[in-house]
Structure formats: structure tokens, C-alpha cells
Amino acid sequence: MSRIGRRLGVDGLDLTADASLAAIADAGLTPADIDGVATMGDTPPLDAAKRLGIEATWHGGGFDTGGLLSPLMSAFWAVASGKARHVLVYRTVLMMGGTILPPAGANETKGDSTPAEAPVADAAKWISPLLTMHAYSASNWLTMHCRRHMHLYGTTKEQLGWLALNSRKNAALNPNAAYTEPLTMDDYLSARMISDPLGLYDCDVPIDGSIAFVVSNVSHADSCPGRPIHIDAIGGSPGTGAWDQRPDYPKMASADAAEQMWARSDLTPADVDVAELYDGFTYLTFAWLEALKLCGEGEAGPFVEGGRRIALDGELPLNTYGGQLSAGRMHGYWVVHEAVEQLRGTAGERQIADAEVAVAAVGGGPIAGCLTLTR
């Protein structure tokens, strides 16, 4: 991980280099060992490779069935299929610029790369009906899901608030978190409304930073200087039903991604020791809790109420690093980073004792990806 913070004033390429070099060294490798690069977003992979002295023969990235996690999932595919042996995957974000959408042609095949996918600049088709209803922001779109969930299951604003409070409590133990000062339920409920019922503390915190991983063939495990973490199973969804046309609304792509992941694993929801779930908005975490069957359908609100079950010493420690709500928005890559830290036993004051299985899940609406990781 690079420096993390709000308005750092540091160039994205510098942040990328900091995180990437640290990840490569952590894997016991040098840039010359890296033969693949995958990313999406603010720092182009060719620029990063040149800066780092990497000569990659394989490149991956862009939105496909894993949403924001597509670069990481494409790296798993490349290594498993023998296209590459050591793939650098990074995500760099800048508060004051950049985009999560791939540039034109980002999914085109270059040399020995992942096959070209249909560009998800079909993204327009996901949101055009919403724009006709004057819903211009993801906060508006998720508000509709949230309101429907409230109507069906009696979910309350206060139950959403327990996620924000739990995240802030965990962030206080994370030296890299953007916001660490105490947050009360009164603070949460009195914060200005963004898109009713989602208020200020239901929304993630923009930051600058970079997070990087090295995905390697399992045969490299014994050569790692630190504990290598294994990928058990992955699942993703390309967006059937767009934002608001699913027959099982308010369910999202997270339901499909989770179903696929569990079908590929011998693990079950009961095996999960720690959950790092996307919280671009509080409601997205509710959707993931239910999609992953970590609680019953419609039961996410009662499950988190009071904060006891999801605390660091609870039955399902949740977003142990502070989540995007308090630590900062790394578009889902911090959830994977924290899952690795927890399984390695290197999470410091927020460490979960004897964590052996973690689930990390990213996205919502029409795109989603998730994975199980093990010691």
C-alpha cells in the first residue's frame, strides 16, 4: 500500500510505484520477475511498467464479469492457465480526477492477453432509464434499492447506522484510515441527507492512494518471505437486469456473483472468519451480507443491529479496517488487502484471532465480484 490520504498532492504514478514495489518485494521478487500487469483506472499499465522496469508479456484489466475486481480475477486466470507466472495487480485512485471506467480499447487483445470482451461502455444502457427519472447519481440508484428493502423487510435507518459506527470504531485502530474520530448514532442520524434515506455517513470517503498485489503460481508459495495467501474460489456477474430491471429487485449482481463463488468452493458461509464487504454506500453491505448467505434474506438489518455480531470480537467481524465509509474509497481493493492482512496475522490492533478463511466482495447494482481466501 502507498501513502493513503485526502488530497495528498502526489502524482498517481508515484503512488502506483510505491505500492507496486512494496508488493513485489513482499513476494520475494524483483520487477524483472513480473511477466504480467493488470489494472483499471488512473495509472495506465504501460506507464507503470516503464516506471517500474517491468517487461510484461501479458496485460489484463477492464470491466468484465468481476466488475471492479476484474483485473485481479483476470490475473488469477492468467496464472492458472500458464499465460503468466507472476502478475502485478494494482489500483490507484485520485480524489480530484480519474475514472473507474476503462479507456476506449482497454479490453482489446494485445499480444498474449485475456481475450477481448464486449466493452461495458454498454454502461449507458444500465443507467439510461434512471436518468429519465432524474436519478443522476449512484446514491440515487442505491436509495431505491434501500427503500424497497425497507418496505419488504422493515429495515431501518438506525440499522444502516450500525455499519457506519462499526466502521468508524475499526478505523480508529487503522493508522492509514482517513477518519478515526468517534462517531455516535446521534452524529449519524443528524448528518445532512444525500439521497433519502442515505445521509453523509452512509457514503464512502474519497481518498488518494494505491494498493498492489502480486498473483503468483502456487509453486512459488514456499519461496515467499511472508505468508502466502491462497485463493479458494471467485465469482462474478456481468450485470443481468441492469440497475433496476431484475425480477427479484432489490437484489443485485452480488446475488449472482455469490452464488457462483459458493458453487465453486468446498467452503460454506459458516466457515467465514472475517468478512470484508464493499460499502460504497451502507446499503451495499446489507446486499452482500444476504447475497453471501452470511445472514438470511431480509435479515441484514437485525443482523448488524447493536453492532455486537459484526464487532472485532463478534461472530462475524466486518470491514475490520474501517471500510470505505471511514478508512477510504479504494474501489474495493482495500477489502482484499485487509483480508490478506487478517489471514497473515499482520493486522495489528484490529487482528482477528486465528482467522483462517476470509471473504472479500466488491461492487453492487449490475456489476459484482467476490472471492474466498484462505491461510
Q: Which domains does the chain have, with CATH numbers?
A: 12-123 (3.40.47), 139-204+227-374 (3.40.47.10)
Instruction: Give the mean pLDDT per block of 10 residues along the chain (375 residues).
Output: 94 96 97 95 88 93 80 94 96 73 40 39 53 71 95 98 98 97 98 96 96 96 94 89 88 96 98 98 98 98 98 98 97 96 98 98 93 97
What phi and psi values does residue 149 have, to the nearest 5 degrees?
Answer: -65, -40
Residue 41: per-residue pLDDT: 74
Q: In what order do the strands lie in the sheet with 58-61?
A: 58-61, 36-39, 86-93, 209-216
CB 300 within 8 A of CB 289: yes
> In this structure, what C-alpha cell is assigned to residue 295?
445472514
Continuous segment of H or E residues that includes residue 341:
helix 333-344
Cα–Cα–Cα angle for 189, 192, 194, rounded to 5 degrees:
110
Residue 345: per-residue pLDDT: 97
Return the SS3 of 352: coil
> In this structure, what C-alpha cell is assigned to residue 237?
456477474
Residue 130: per-residue pLDDT: 60
Residue 40: per-residue pLDDT: 85
Residue 242: per-residue pLDDT: 80
Strand 36-39 with 58-61, pairing: parallel
